[in-house]
Amino acid sequence: MGEPYYITTAISYPNGKPHIGHAYEAIAADVIARFKKAEGFDVRFQTGTDEHGLKMAQKARDLGVTPADLATEMSGHFMQMCDKLDVGYDVFIRTTEPRHHEATQELWRRMEAAGDLYLDRYEGWYSVRDEAYYDESELQAGEQGEKLSPQGTAVEWTVEESWFFRLSKYQDKLLALYASGDFIRPESRRNEIQRFVEGGLRDLSVSRTSFDWGIKVPGSDNHVMYVWVDALTNYITGLGFPDEQGDYARFWPADLHLIGKDIVRFHTVYWPAFLMSAGLDLPKQVFGHGFLLNRGQKESKSLGNVTDPIQLAETFGVDAVRYFLLREVAFGQDGSWSPEAIVTRANAELANSFGNLAQRSLSMIFKNMDGEIKPDLPVNEADQALLDAVRQGFDAMRAAFDQLSFSDGLEAWMRAVFACNQYVDEQAPWALRKSDPARMEAVLMILFRVVRDLAIAVRPVVPSSIDALLDQMGQSASARTYAALDDPEWFTTLSASGYKVDKPVGVFPRLELPEVAE
Ligand code: ME8
């Protein structure tokens, strides 16, 4: 078994159906998980829903349902989104599960045993939307002069008895953590957090008495924990904590928490401080990705531009959407999508460039060689140059993906595809059919090899289309890893197996823009 690799997404608030931002994060995490699997890691991938807190309680009240029913219904939509988008998580965690209550209460007890929790009175500005308290100095004025959080959400003056966590005690340790390596990425977010912590940390209010939709504070039954204490703990609940053997021993600390830029503070200030207090290891990295905008605008109910990601996948095909999101957006920055941009990208790169290359190559082998694989044909200089170019493209893609630079990685992959198409044009196997049939066969065998290599390389991004292609190319399920790209025997073995290319079926259809209803 390979080295363990543990990746998580944020757990989403199930106070409504999933939106495109949720889909974006889930897809990116899934691509990383599949990439690491292809690299040979023993991957554990967790996602889920964050079901407690005031926001959930208020939404349920508005709808006239219980928070538990609301959470169950909406959580189902998040699971369905993952299924439709080929997001292959290992664990889907719901914070209302009993095992999560147990894990969170244990974390609490350990923080208390460390002397980091005390009871006091809280007065401050609370934003229900962000589930966060803010300092007066952090607030901004709204259009009518009303007070707003730094995220632009409404805040309320709140006074209550509360448990506090001694966050102030961890300032130096946190700064040392940021300075020591790549804990926070990208760098712009690290700088932002570092400045915030350098400005001084106040102790954090970590319990509420004004409502009861949450996890009870051990020994303080009228308090429920602040939802972020509960939410962050999901990452260890899913590994069986408080049992520190088994999955926890294997997969903790997490290799990567993938989250959006708006919740970096919770993951890089509060979470490591809680873990330090409880004496547990810290995650290795937190990456704050950018926001996905709809033609440059935030999607919102009031603008009427909210996209259902499941619908989007049904309209364009799941792999076109997955490819587009990773290819188009420089990971870490905000990005924009539109139907035109998805169609343009998918047609130019998946359908016309790679899909067409695969289809033409297999079809020529089927028609002109009776589908036969001949492994021992001579390889000339042009052939070797192409094999090298494809290998370089793959190496560059792999290095970029390792840094989560997906758009750069896919660009490198595309360059290799272009090199193949140029090779086809230059070698013109259709012309060789009459003039030099032996050379035609050699060219077609090179094409079979590069198509297979390019397919395996890009499989983490567009898994179901690539699997449909690799099925047609006689590649066993176990040979769809990056190690298979280094196997010098695969082509001879394939030929010896008696496999023959059949009439190929295209896997990347050309897309049309859907008609817009007036
Ligand atoms: O924040 N583009 O839940 P959430 C890209 N429950 N990503 C976006 C986005 C957009 N337009 N909008 C939101 C929460 N996100 C907490 C997390 S984790 C212990 C608790 C991202 O449903 C957002 O940044 O509001 C977050 O990473 C995720 O979607 C869930 O957001």
Q: Which atom of ligand 1 is nearest to the CA of 49?
A: 6
4-116+166-289: CATH, from 3.40.50.300, 3.40.50.720, 3.40.50.620, 3.55.40.20: 3.40.50.620
Domain extents in the chain: 4-116+166-289, 348-497
Q: What is the pLDDT of residue 209?
A: 92
CA of 262 to the centre of ligand 1 (A): 7
Please give the Cα distance from 128 to 495 (Å, whole number).
63
Find the 456 Cα to ligand 1 centroid distance in Å: 31
Atom of ligand 1 nearest to the CA of 260: 24
Residues facing 287 on adjacent strands: 185, 258
**What pLDDT sits at residue 514?**
81
- The rounded distance, in Å, linking the Cα atoms of 68 and 56 is 9
Asked whether 259 lines ligand 1 (CB < 6 A), one says yes
Q: Across the strands, what pairs with 259? A: 288
Mutate to test the pocket of ligand 1, among 262, 266, 269, 326 (most ligand atoms within 8 A of CB): 262
Residue 297's pLDDT is 83
CB-based burial, 274-306: b 16+ in 10 Å, e otherwise: bbbbbebebbebbbbbbbbbbeeeebeeeeeee
Q: Say which residues have a Cβ less than 8 Å from residue 275's Cβ, sequence separation at least 6.
A: 281, 282, 283
Q: Which of 165, 53, 54 shows the shortest CA–CA distance to 108?
A: 165
Give residue 516's pLDDT: 62
State which residues of the chain have pLDDT below 70: 516-518
pLDDT at residue 133 in the model: 85
Nearest alpha carbon, ligand 1 atom 18 = 10
Question: Fold identical between 4-116+166-289 and 348-497?
Answer: no
Nearest CA to ligand 1 atom 11: 21
Gap from CA of 20 to ligand 1 centroid (Å): 10
- Written as one string, the DSSP assignment of 332-400 is TB-EEE-HHHHHHHIIIIIIIIIIHHHHHHHHHHHHHSTTB--TT----HHHHHHHHHHHHHHHHHHHH
pTM score, two decimals? 0.95
Assess whether the C-beta atom of 291 lies below 6 angstroms from ligand 1.
yes
Helix, strand, or coil (residue 256): strand
What is the distance, to the nearest Å, from the Cα of residue 480 to the centroid of all Cα atoms in its chain? 21
Pair type for strands 91-94 and 42-49: parallel
Q: Provide the ipTM.
A: 0.99
Give residue-wise pLDDT tens across range 208-240.
Answer: 998 899 999 999 999 999 999 999 999 999 999
Per-residue pLDDT tens for 169-182?
999 999 999 999 99
What is the distance in A from the centroid of ligand 1 to the CA of 292? 11
- Residue 517: the pLDDT is 53
- Fold annotation for 348-497: Isoleucyl-tRNA Synthetase; Domain 1 (1.10.730)
